[in-house]
Amino acid sequence: DIQMTQSPSSLSASVGDSVTITCRASQSISSFLSWSQQKPGKAPKLLIYSASFLQSGVPSRFSGGGSGTDFTLTISRLQPEDFGTYYCQQTYSTPYTFGQGTKLELK
């Protein structure tokens, strides 16, 4: 299985800040990397697919980058609704696997 490692595990930031979350794959996954946001009691919501493409309806303050094994999710100008848990996921090969999550909290 391909292991996905996110960092940091948790992050505290203020409204208006910019933050970056990283995700590393245990082997190359080309650009088959997506980012999702999850709020308590809800399903994950897709933000970024194919490493850098913004899903329809997602604000442009979200951006993704990287390829191969190293990827980033950057959120600019944090808004109150951006707080939650973020997961990276690889869909390069089955079994698909997720990172352990990054919890973004309000400072």
Partner 1 sequence: QVQLQESGPGLVPPSQTLSLTCTVSGGSINAGSYFWSWIRQPAGKEPEWIGRIDTFMRSTKNPSLASRVAISADTSKNQVFLKLSSVTAADTAVYFCAREEANLGSAFGLWGQGARVTVSS
Q: Which residues bind partner 1 (CB under 8 A)?
A: 31-34, 36, 42-46, 49-51, 53, 55, 87, 89, 91, 94-101
Q: Which is nearer to partner 1, 34 or 78 (CB)?
A: 34
Strands, DSSP E only, in the chain?
4-7, 10-13, 19-25, 33-38, 45-49, 53-54, 62-67, 70-75, 84-90, 97-98, 102-106
> Could you tell me which residues come within 8 angstroms of residue 43 by beta carbon, excluding any fewer than 6 positions away?
none
Nearer to partner 1, 83 or 98 (CB): 98
Smaller CB distance to partner 1: residue 52 or 76? Answer: 52
Question: Taking the complex as a whole, how short is the minimal distance between the CB of residue 13 and partner 1, in angstroms?
Answer: 21
Q: Any idea how long the chain is?
A: 107
Q: Shortest distance, CB of residue 97 to partner 1, whole angstroms?
A: 7
